[in-house]
Every structure is written in structure tokens, then in C-alpha cells.
Amino acid sequence: MVIVLFVLMMVALRKNWNHTNRSPFSYFIPLLLVVLLFYLAASQFVPRVFDAVQIVFGQYDSTEVKLSEKNFVYNRIITEEQIFFYPPSYFGNPETGKYQIYFTERTNYVMKLIYVGETEDSANVADHSP
């Protein structure tokens, strides 16, 4: 995406330098592309680069949460505090219980999901079922 924006910016700048613009608006296209390029760099590229360093050294943040099937939505794990992302079809049939999640710090990408055990709530429901 960044490469495409950079190429579009170079094409627009070349039109400006050659004075071949057809409308006055086209003079501002390189400026808009630069703003979009900086936004994408700040919001997407830079956090992923810093997370890549974490992945190389294997240093992940971790948290322990109680999850049920409703917390697993397509490629996200939605908890009360955070949203974690994982590849689709990464988990087959998640069980209700307590999980330990290892994730990257800036993008919240799940690196490991470890089932710790049942929660007291899920154990009580299982005991009282007919």
C-alpha cells in the first residue's frame, strides 16, 4: 500500500513539474497523498515494525482472561478490556474457560493462546445441568 501511494505521488509530482495538470485540484493531489502516506506509516507500518522486533526476540505481553464461545468473533477475541487479533481458522472449537493470551504489544496480535482450565462459573453450570 505504501509503495502504491509512493508511486502515485511520484506520478502526480511529475505532472506538476511538467505543468500537464488538467485541473487546479490536481496540483494538491501530491499533498493529499503525502498526508495519507504519513497516516498509514504512523498507524500501520511503524507499530508492525516495532512488533516485528518483539516477535524476533520472542518477548510478548501476556494476560489471563475468562473466555466463552461468544468472545471469539471471526478473527478477533473480544474481552472486556481489549480486542485481540488472530488468523481465521486458527482455533477450531474454543472451550469456555480461562485462557492465557500471549500477544504483541502494539497490534494485539495473538501469538499463543493457552487453555488454562475451567472457570468456577462454567464448572458450576456443568454441575447443575440435568
Order of strands, edge to edge, in the sheet holding 76-78?
72-73, 76-78, 83-85
Give the cell for residue 15. 505532472
Whether the CB-CB separation of 61 and 68 falls below 8 Å is answered with no
Instruction: Give pLDDT tens digits for 57-90.
Output: 988 999 999 988 888 888 888 888 889 998 877 7
pTM of the predicted protein model: 0.66
Q: Is 100 helix (H, G, I), strand (E, B) or coil?
A: strand
**Over its length of 130 residues, how does the chain's per-residue pLDDT go in tens digits?**
778 888 888 898 888 888 887 888 888 888 898 899 889 888 888 888 888 888 899 889 999 999 888 888 888 888 888 899 988 777 777 788 899 999 998 888 998 888 888 866 555 544 433 3
Give the three-state DSSP class for 119. coil
Amino acid at 92: G
